[in-house]
Structure 1
């Protein structure tokens, strides 16, 4: 919890000071009562009431003051509110290594299936685009609220040679900027979700992609695809295709995104769900001083009611 007018909190030390003054008055009152030697007269001028009643009322009063001071300081709580709009680019690696079957039925088919599930689950107010990348990166679906265009683009992509992760990031950023050009100085938040098995073998470097992403304030979340045991057969030759998790983790962490690892299709679906949740909400600070005002009013009413009941007067 934070405070929008914290200087009001400087009054809080007055509350324990008043408590101390109250305790001193109680002690002084008990000393004066002892001076009366005529007990019947003492009972007449000071009728007995349970001591806890006045202590309770004093405690409620001090609590009321504390609540009022905190309320005056305008406390604010951080809450999650839905994003009104956002632009998401899904970049899918279509290099030949993605045909490895260590993720059933293959890395490529599992990626396509989960990317489609992710897009379908996003809030309708989000715009979604698709980039496929191998030796080059191509925007196969420009950002749009039309889910059909993005889903059809994923169905139609095919495998090619090489892997250009850096180019995929640059292509995604360009697509986002082009789409956001009509939004003036207040473009919607954007995010890139990149699926790959991790080796940048062609095109611009991952480091240059990181710089471009940071300059555009567009995070990149990555999903390391596959296991250390994947193999592919190209032109009759079988080759092991490991996952370069370090490259993908560096891309994500250096752009304020998140790095995930998915070694099977079920786990990948969970990863996409967590990404969609994080993109769907944004933290916002909200004034909750009205809660403290309401609590102070309840304390005042309760204290007044008790005082009228016990002493036939208001405090």
Structure 2
């Protein structure tokens, strides 16, 4: 918990002084009573003491004042709020290596299933775009909150030759830039991110490092998912070709762009990564005022203290 105006805690000194003053008055009252010469007359004219219960109302009042002091200090706490302006480009690798069966039933089918779940779980206010890439990247869906288009694009993915990872990143950044120019408001361009799911090494186009540098300059982090296992292979033109994920290249993209790197060797792991990214992208942590419970508790304590004082001693402390 944090406080927006901690200077109000100085009022706590007043509460402490009141408590000390109350204790001092109690001792002085007892001292003055003992000075009374005629004890038999004192018992006749002085009201009977209410033992220790007489202190309870004062304790409630002091506690209430303490709680109200905390409320005045403006307590805040972290709270998650859905993002309503963010834009996310999901770039999915559809190179021939995605037909590898090291992930059941194959990498592409598992990727489609996980991507569809990501689409369903993403906060409704987030604008989602889809890019597919093999040798040539293509924007299948411009950023939109219409999830129907995203599902149709993912379900219609087709495999092709080559892998242009850097070009896919650049195309994703261009889509984000176009969206930002159109939908920027007084708060500036919407927060943006690229989620790159790929299983192989770039074979054509501009390098991933150059594209990641462009992302860093545009302040668009890239979340990279390395999908597949080191033992994955595909049969291309009668040749059994190993297709392990290019882990080092993908880590480089995440590091340069200021994003994060994930690995997924199974369909379940890929779904889990997408779920974590959806939570990270779809919500933002804000400081929310939580003074109301302190105010309510403080007022109730003051009311109980005042009521108790009237019942026990017929006066408000």
**Matched residues in 2 for 1:247 and 1:33: separation?**
87
**Matched residues in 2 for 1:296 and 1:45: separation?**
37
**8 Å CA contact 1:90, 1:192 repeated in 2:** yes
- Segments of 5+ residues of structure 2 without an aligned counterpart are none
**8 Å CA contact 1:110, 1:265 repeated in 2:** yes
Cα separation, partners in 2 of 1:232 and 1:79, compared to 1, 3 Å: same
**8 Å CA contact 1:166, 1:206 repeated in 2:** yes
Which residue does 1:26 correspond to in 2? 26
1:198 is displaced (CA, Å) by: 5.0
Q: Secondary structure at the match of 1:89?
A: strand
Q: Secondary structure at the match of 1:49?
A: coil
Which residue does 1:41 correspond to in 2? 41
Within 5 Å, which residues of 2 pair with 1:140-151?
140-151=140-151
1:216 aligns with 2:218: yes
User: RMSD in angstroms over aligned alpha carbons?
Assistant: 2.5
**Matched residues in 1 for 2:5 and 2:200: separation?**
49
1:87 is displaced (CA, Å) by: 2.0
**8 Å CA contact 2:56, 2:308 repeated in 1:** no
**Matched residues in 1 for 2:38 and 2:183: separation?**
87
- 1:126-171 C-alpha deviation (Å, 9 max, x unpaired): 3221111233322122222333333333333333333332222211
Normalised by the length of structure 1, the TM-score is 0.88
Moved more, 188-197 or 239-248: 239-248
Which residue does 1:301 correspond to in 2? 303
1:225 aligns with 2:227: yes
Q: Secondary structure at the match of 2:91?
A: strand
1:69 aligns with 2:69: yes
Which residue does 2:132 correspond to in 1? 132
1:273 aligns with 2:269: no
1:253 is displaced (CA, Å) by: 5.2
**8 Å CA contact 1:78, 1:283 repeated in 2:** yes
**Matched residues in 2 for 1:180 and 1:300: separation?**
53
Within 5 Å, which residues of 2 pair with 1:102-117?
102-117=102-117
Which residue does 1:58 correspond to in 2? 58
Cα separation, partners in 2 of 1:241 and 1:295, compared to 1, 3 Å: same
**Matched residues in 1 for 2:45 and 2:173: separation?**
85
Report how many residues are paired: 315
1:174 is displaced (CA, Å) by: 0.6
Which residue does 2:287 correspond to in 1? 285
Cα separation, partners in 2 of 1:56 and 1:200, compared to 1, 3 Å: farther
1:230 is displaced (CA, Å) by: 1.0
**Matched residues in 1 for 2:246 and 2:52: separation?**
70
**Matched residues in 2 for 1:291 and 1:144: separation?**
39
**Matched residues in 2 for 1:205 and 1:45: separation?**
98
1:88 is displaced (CA, Å) by: 1.9
- Segments of 5+ residues of structure 1 without an aligned counterpart are none
**8 Å CA contact 1:198, 1:247 repeated in 2:** no
Moved more, 9-18 or 58-67: 9-18
**8 Å CA contact 1:102, 1:230 repeated in 2:** yes
Q: Secondary structure at the match of 2:90?
A: strand
Which residue does 2:312 correspond to in 1? 310
Cα separation, partners in 2 of 1:210 and 1:34, compared to 1, 3 Å: farther
